[in-house]
Amino acid sequence: MTKSQLRLNLFLVYSFFFVCVTPSSHAKILDYFKKDLSKVPTKEKLKTQEPLAKKKLDQALIYEKKGMRSKAATQYQYIVKNYPFTSSAPISQFKLAESFMQKGKLKKAFSSFQDFTDKHKSSPYFIKAIQAQYDIARSAQQQNSKNKLFFLPKKFQQSDLLEWFTSIIDNAPFSALAPLAQFAIAELYQADDKTSMAISAYQSLVDKHPNHPKAPEAQFRIGEIARQKIESGSRDHANIVSARNAMEDVIVAYENSPRAKEAKIALAKFESIEAEHFYDTGLFYEKQNKLRSAVIYYEKASKAKDPIVRNNALRKLSLIQGNSQTQKTSNPIGQIKKEPELKKDLPPSLTKESEETITNENKGPLILPPPPPES
């Protein structure tokens, strides 16, 4: 049989095989061909490679000691590429990553350390590699922050930094570096004005590592994000509630932390802001002549600790009550008989609206939604 006939027969066999196998088998076969086809050397070949790799490693270490880092890195790279299964490969991979880090090539360094953590999880250098990855990611984050301060373009993409910190957590989820990486992720989201994702990331740190030194700060920052929204002009009451709850958690769960005192001050401020919000909402409804809703919000504001807001709310309630009594006594008797019992305390302007919204006295007071944000 000629070579051409043999190739033809092999082609027909493989064609038949691919047609007959199931789709899942197709995927497995394709995955196989995508993999690195380098195989573990035989015991005899590995025995031969060990002294060769050891000699290269010793030479590389000498180069490094003499300050000849480029030559050392070349040797490390040679060992990793040609003797990946020898006992010299892990230290060579680690040293190669270190050389990239020393040169300031942070992307290459992080990737090289990642190769190390993927292949040599049992190495005594494993935690050192994770620490190096964290140092690289933090350095890149700080460089971005510095550039932002001086209005310079960022050196690193936020997506890269997020991926790096996430990899650190995945590589060592129970290490001391995992909560630090989680905190850094939250900071990245916060710096990028992705407030919802930042709050979620900070909350994840508090939930998973409640006793970590970063936990009080993470809890405080949840309240800070909500506070910033309020101070920027947000009239969403949910922000006030979120900020208040976050600060209360700081005070209760981390009463001995440096942030607890600040949380108490912030909490008092939030209570004042909330009272002002209730009072302003009451004013809005009063201007709309929707007195039921106005009274509800004035009553909430009347419980404020702030004496100015409290007294203003009480004065408004007194005026509305006095106007209602005056309106009731000034109506002729014939008109009072014609009005439904439910409406006797309301001014005539609310009669039509009340008929449309309230059909039974037992339904209670009418509570309308908060006013829309000011344009």
- Using a cut of 0.85, tell me whether the model's pTM lies above it: no
For residues 139 and 106, the answer to whether their CB atoms sit within 8 Å is: yes
Amino acid symbol at 360: N
In a domain, 116, yes or no: no
pLDDT by residue for the chain (375 residues), tens digit each?
555 555 555 555 455 444 444 444 444 444 433 445 456 899 999 999 999 999 999 999 999 999 999 999 999 999 999 999 999 999 999 999 999 999 999 999 999 999 999 999 999 999 999 999 999 999 999 999 888 777 788 889 999 999 999 999 999 999 999 999 999 999 999 999 999 999 999 999 999 999 999 999 999 999 999 888 887 777 677 888 888 899 999 999 999 999 999 999 988 888 888 898 899 999 999 999 999 999 999 999 999 988 999 999 999 999 998 888 787 776 655 444 443 443 444 444 444 443 334 344 444 444 555 555 554
**355 lies in which domain range?**
280-363
In a domain, 308, yes or no: yes
Q: How many domains does the chain have?
A: 1
In a domain, 337, yes or no: yes
In a domain, 351, yes or no: yes
Rounded distance, CA 171 to CA 118, Å? 8
In a domain, 246, yes or no: no
In a domain, 318, yes or no: yes
In a domain, 316, yes or no: yes
In a domain, 353, yes or no: yes
